[in-house]
Structure 1
């Protein structure tokens, strides 16, 4: 079913590749924005939130890798599913894409069956917020093993409140090294779960502490704390999606 509710950004410096992917995506949506390179894509990504973002990994100006890093660090699309477009990737290299901030990848030449999988897995249904996104992110990290993904998510939900409280107390006490240790642990945890937006937020706290910028670390902590509270508030919905 074609829907204009599904907003999509496609960024590829090759005109033919860009046009072909857009034509294929019109099976699902007419609301498609095209960017001719990384810099133009970054302009779009700062001003509008997209339901799906497709980035060619090799673009002039800003590569897909550089662009997804900026998206995860500071944009309205921090939680948007971002799909890498590449000419080739080995199965053992896919983790490099996810560690860089991508949610998934498409291999050129792109076929409709692969796009269908991407749409089914990463499209965030209207009215469901980001719970579907977080469930899919963890499932992707655990190779679609629902039982294992749910088990680890429950562990995250149990540990996260205590870790955030410990970090808050360390920051309030101006205990820089303990705060840095906790921030580093949180950063590693979010990397493990594939939660790119949380990883970027935790990284900003960690890097500010390393640089001795305590006020900045506190500011970034506040942003991370708000994100964690929102995630914990939707924990039931996330776990429900994991079972679905």
Structure 2
């Protein structure tokens, strides 16, 4: 089950209806940004599959945020929530890279349907891994190949070592290895694995051992899925 990252830009901090998404969809992670700086930081460090802009802003502020979101997270569709009296702005915003403008009150079921469609089409694929790393290496293919080969060797070994450490209840060792793994995938910008590694590391750090195995299994699945793409990725680059 791959993580689906949703960014909610909502300055009023009344996002109770959106928490239903995480409750109904355990693999949907909702990040809330309460101001423009928080939104930009989130966009810099996380690859989102959907961005919801639900706040009362001046037209130029909305345009600025949408442009920033499109530039930093070009794969993520943006949906702008509008009050009834703002409906005249719909045509203006949809000229931008905005998938839709929805009128309030918010229909959570509609958002769920949209997420369902996105989940079927936006899983991280070989070309996305390649492009993310090429962006990181400034299109240095040779360096990208070296990094990919290193990851294909190290990540399975680290998962194996974490598994052994957890079986033996050596949680400190498991935390140290998870921290290294998290750093590697985070440096590369692979948000699917990064999110899962963060969840496991955070769980171990706070000694929440009852949920450790579930987080480990999710991370292991993400790593296995990534390694399964080894030949396709390397054949494309070489």
SS at match of 1:212: coil
1:64 and 2:59 aligned: no
Query: What is the correspondence of 1:139-150 to structure 2 with a 5 Å cutoff?
Result: 139-150=134-145
**Which residue of structure 2 aligns with residue 111 of structure 1?**
none
CA–CA distance in structure 1, aligned partners of residues 123 and 176 of structure 2: 35
Unaligned runs of 5+ in 1: 1-8, 14-36, 49-56, 73-77, 89-96, 106-114, 116-125
- Listed as ranges, the matches of 1:18-97 within 5 Å are 63-65=38-40, 80=49
- Would the alpha carbon gap of residues 235 and 212 (structure 1) be closer, same or farther in structure 2, given more than 3 Å must change? same
CA distance, structure 2, for counterparts of residue 208 and residue 191 of structure 1: 17
Q: Deviations over 1:89-120 (max 9, x none)?
A: xxxxxxxx9xxxx5569xxxxxxxxx9xxxxx
**C-alpha distance in structure 1 between counterparts of 2:63 and 2:134, whole Å:** 22
| TM-score (norm. length: structure 1) | 0.54
Q: Larger radius of gyration, structure 1 or 2? A: 2
| Matched-pair contact (CA < 8 Å) for 1:131–1:237 | yes
Post-superposition shift, 1:64? 2.4
The partner residue of 1:205 within 200, 207, 214 is 200
Matched-pair contact (CA < 8 Å) for 2:48–2:73: no
- TM-score (normalised: structure 2): 0.55
Correspondence for 2:132 among 132, 137, 140: 137
Would you say the 8 A contact 1:167–1:183 is kept in 2? yes
In 1, Cα distance between equivalents of 2:219 and 2:163 = 11
* Cα distance in 1 for residues equivalent to 2:167 and 2:7: 43
Contact 1:198 1:224 in 2 (8 A): yes
